[in-house]
Chain A
Amino acid sequence: MEIPGYAGSILYVDLTSGRTKKEPLAPGLARTFIGGHGINWKLAYDLIPPDADPLSPENAIIIGAGPFSGTLVPGAPELVITSKLPLSGGFGTNAGGGHFPLMLKSSGYDHLVITGRTEKPTYLKILDDDVELCDARDLWGRDIFETVDELRTRYEPCSVIPIGPSGEKLVRISVTSIDKLGTVGFGGLPAVMGSKNLKAIVAVQGTREIRVAHRLRLLKAVDRMLERVMSYRLRPTLLEGGTFAMSASWLGMGGQGWDDIHRESRETLACPSCPMGDKERHRLTEGDYSPMVSYSTDFMGEFEASGKTPLDSHNRAVKRLDRFNRNGICRFHFRDALGLMTSLYQQGIITTEDTDGVELKGDYDTTLRLIDMTARREGFGDLLAEGALRAARRIGRGAEEHVIHIKGCSQYLDPRIDSFNTMAFAQLVHPGRPHYACGGIGIYMPERPIDLFVRHAGRIGVPDEAIRRIFGPASFNVGRLTKHAEDWFSLFNCLGLCHRVYISRFHSIEGVVELYSAITGIETTAAELLKAAERAWNMSRLLNVRTGFGRKDDTPPRGWFTPPAAGDREYPLRDYFGAASFTREDVEGVLNDYYDERGWDKESGIPTPEKLKELGLEGYQP
Chain B
Amino acid sequence: MVATRKGPPIAVDAASCTGCLICELRCSLRFEKAFNPSKSQIRIRRLVGGDCEYDISFTDRCDNCGICVRYCPYGALIQEEKKETA
Contact = CB atoms under 8 A, between A and B. Distances in A.
Interface in A231-255: 239
Interface in A33-82: 70-72
A230 B70 CA distance: 12
A367 B7 CA distance: 56
A602 interface: no
A156 B43 CA distance: 12
Interface stretch (B25-33, B56-64, B78-86): B25-33
Interface string B8-50: 0000000100111110011011001111111100001110110
Contacts of B35: 70-72, 209-212
Report which residue of A149, A206, A229, A273 has the largest number of chain B beta carbons within 10 angstroms of its beta carbon. Answer: A273
Interface in A175-216: 205-212, 215
B41 to A, nearest CB: 15
B53 A281 contact: yes
A106 interface: yes
Nearest to A272: B21
B45 A157 contact: yes
A212 B15 CA distance: 32
B interface: dominant SS = mixed
A526 B43 CA distance: 37
A274 interface: yes
B29 A269 contact: no
Interface in A597-618: none
A66 B15 CA distance: 30
A149 B49 CA distance: 8
Contact of A229 (B15, B32, B38, B73): B73
Residue from B25, B29, B48, B73 with most neighbouring chain A CB atoms (10 Å): B73
Contacts of B28: 209
Nearest to B22: A273
Contacts of A152: 46, 48
Contacts, number: 90
A210 B38 contact: no
Contacts of B46: 152, 156-157
Contacts of B19: 99, 269-270, 272
Contact of B18 (A219, A230, A277): A277
A71 B37 CA distance: 10
Given A102-B21, A277-B20, A267 B48 contact: no
A210 B37 CA distance: 10
A587 interface: no
A226 B19 CA distance: 17
A71 B28 CA distance: 10
B73 A226 contact: yes
A527 to B, nearest CB: 29
Nearest to A230: B73
Contact of B38 (A206, A230, A281): A206
Given A149-B49, A156-B46, A267-B53, A273 B25 contact: yes
A208 B39 CA distance: 9
A158 to B, nearest CB: 9
Nearest to A151: B48
A71 B38 CA distance: 13
A153 interface: yes
B36 A274 contact: no
B45 A72 contact: no
A290 to B, nearest CB: 15
Given A72-B29, A152-B48, A215-B29, A208 B36 contact: yes
A346 B66 CA distance: 64
A239 B46 CA distance: 20
A205 B38 contact: yes
Nearest to B28: A209
A268 interface: yes
Interface in A143-166: 149, 152-153, 156-157
Contacts of B53: 267, 269, 281
B75 to A, nearest CB: 10
Nearest to B44: A157
A518 interface: no
B18 to A, nearest CB: 4
A271 B20 contact: yes
Of B20, B29, B38, most A-chain CB atoms within 10 Å: B20
Contact of B73 (A71, A210, A269, A275): A275
A277 B49 CA distance: 21
Contacts of A71: 25, 35
A226 B44 CA distance: 21
A106 B48 contact: no
Contact of B34 (A156, A157, A209, A229): A209
A72 B26 contact: yes
A269 B18 contact: yes
Contacts of A153: 48
Contacts of A268: 18, 74
Contacts of A215: 29, 33
Contacts of B29: 72, 215, 219
B20 A275 contact: yes
A333 B42 CA distance: 42
Nearest to B49: A149
Contact of B25 (A208, A272, A279): A272
Contacts of B37: 102, 106, 157, 205
20 contacts: A70-B36, A71-B35, A99-B21, A149-B49, A152-B48, A153-B48, A205-B37, A206-B38, A209-B35, A209-B36, A209-B39, A210-B34, A210-B36, A211-B33, A269-B19, A273-B22, A274-B20, A275-B74, A277-B20, A277-B74
Given A205-B37, A273-B20, 10 more contacts: A71-B25, A106-B38, A157-B46, A205-B38, A209-B35, A229-B73, A268-B18, A270-B74, A273-B22, A277-B74
Interface of B: 15, 18-22, 25-26, 28-29, 32-39, 44-46, 48-49, 53, 71, 73-74
Which are the 3 A-B pairs with shortest beta-carbon distances? A209-B34, A275-B73, A270-B18
